[in-house]
């Protein structure tokens, strides 16, 4: 997920200009000079300036100093780069949360989280011997804590909590 400064700076500047124009369209409070438009416009303008400075690489020097400092305090074997596909694996947890939001009402808490835990555990390189029992036991305990102790209405779905 290492992106170039040009790209991230560009995204920030675009976001800032969108915020500025969107903000300027907001209706004013009758009889007053400043209203809900002022703050988004100021923030948007700030973002545009920052984005432009980042594109031109200003302030990069400070980052290099900090990076070198961290690197000198870390064990060298932890700094070796991992294969690129591992970076994409990082998208799995948010994807699983979206899955939870979409499926938990229908499937129920226990089955949904069992699937999520199994998937994440395998992604971390667990063997089936660990991942499967974990996926069965952990949702049960979490359900117990939140449903019974904290009284959060977790969805029952296909497989409601047994008591």
Partner 1 sequence: MNTVIQAFGLVFQPDVMIAIFASAVYGLTVGSLPGLSATMATALLVPVTFYLSPIAAVATIITASAMAIFSGDIPGCLLRIPGTPASAAYTDEAYAMTRKGQAETALGICLWFSALGGIAGTLSLMLIAPLLAEMALSFSTYENFWLAMLGLMCATLVARSSPIKAIAAMLLGLLIACVGIDNPGGVARFTLGSTDLLGGIEVIPALVGVFALAEVMRSLTEREPPKLEHRRLGGILKGQWELTKKYPKQQARGNIIGIIIGVLPGAGADMAAWVSYAMAKRFSKTPEKFGTGHPEGLIEAGASNNASLASGWVPALLFGIPGDTITAIAIGVLYMKGLNPGPTLFTEQASSMYALYIIFILGNIIMIPLGIIMIRLASRVVGAPRSAVMPVIMIFCAVGAFATAGNNLFAVYCVAAFGLIGFVMEKNGYPVAAMVLGIVMGTMVEQSFVTSLIKSDGSMLPFFSRPVASVLAAMTFAALLWPVFSWSMQKLRARRVAAA
Of 111-150, which residues contact partner 1 (CB under 8 A)?
113, 116-118, 120-126, 130-131, 134-135, 138-139, 142, 146, 149-150
Q: Which is nearer to partner 1, 67 or 158 (CB)?
A: 67
Asked whether position 105 contacts partner 1 by CB under 8 A, the answer is: yes
Q: Which is nearer to partner 1, 88 or 163 (CB)?
A: 88
* Subset of residues 21 to 80 that bind partner 1, contact rule: CB under 8 A: 22-23, 26-29, 32-40, 42-44, 46-47, 50-51, 53-54, 58-63, 66-67, 69-70, 73-75, 77-78, 80
Q: Out of 92, 140, 156, 157, name the contact with partner 1 by CB under 8 A.
A: 92
Asked whether position 12 contacts partner 1 by CB under 8 A, the answer is: yes
Q: Residue 71 and residue 67: Cα distance in Å, rounded?
A: 6
Q: Residue 103 and residue 111: Cα distance in Å, rounded?
A: 10
Alpha carbon of 138 to those of 58, 105, 117, 129: distances in Å?
48, 19, 8, 14
Q: Coil, helix or strand for 40? A: helix
Q: Kind and range of the H or E element at 135?
A: helix 128-143
Q: Out of 71, 97, 128, 136, name the contact with partner 1 by CB under 8 A.
A: 97
Tokens of 154: 């977790």
Tokens of 155: 């969805």
Q: Residue 114 and residue 120: Cα distance in Å, rounded?
A: 10
Smallest separation, CB 31 to partner 1 (Å): 10
Site size with partner 1, rule: CB under 8 A: 91
């Amino acid at each position: 997920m290492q992106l170039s400064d040009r790209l991230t700076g560009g995204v920030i500047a675009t976001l800032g200009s969108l915020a500025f124009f969107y903000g300027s369209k907001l209706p004013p409070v009758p009889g007053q000079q400043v209203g809900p438009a002022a703050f988004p416009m100021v923030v948007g303008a700030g973002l545009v300036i920052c984005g432009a400075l980042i594109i031109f690489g200003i302030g990069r020097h400070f980052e290099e100093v900090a990076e070198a400092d961290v690197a000198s305090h870390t064990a060298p074997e932890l700094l070796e780069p991992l294969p690129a596909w591992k970076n994409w694996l990082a998208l799995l947890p948010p994807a699983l949360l979206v899955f939870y939001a979409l499926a938990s009402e229908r499937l129920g808490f226990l089955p949904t989280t069992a699937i999520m835990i199994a998937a994440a555990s395998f992604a971390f390189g667990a063997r089936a011997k660990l991942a499967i029992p974990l996926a069965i036991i952990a949702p049960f305990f979490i359900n117990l804590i939140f449903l019974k102790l904290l009284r959060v209405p977790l969805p029952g779905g296909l497989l409601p909590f047994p008591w």
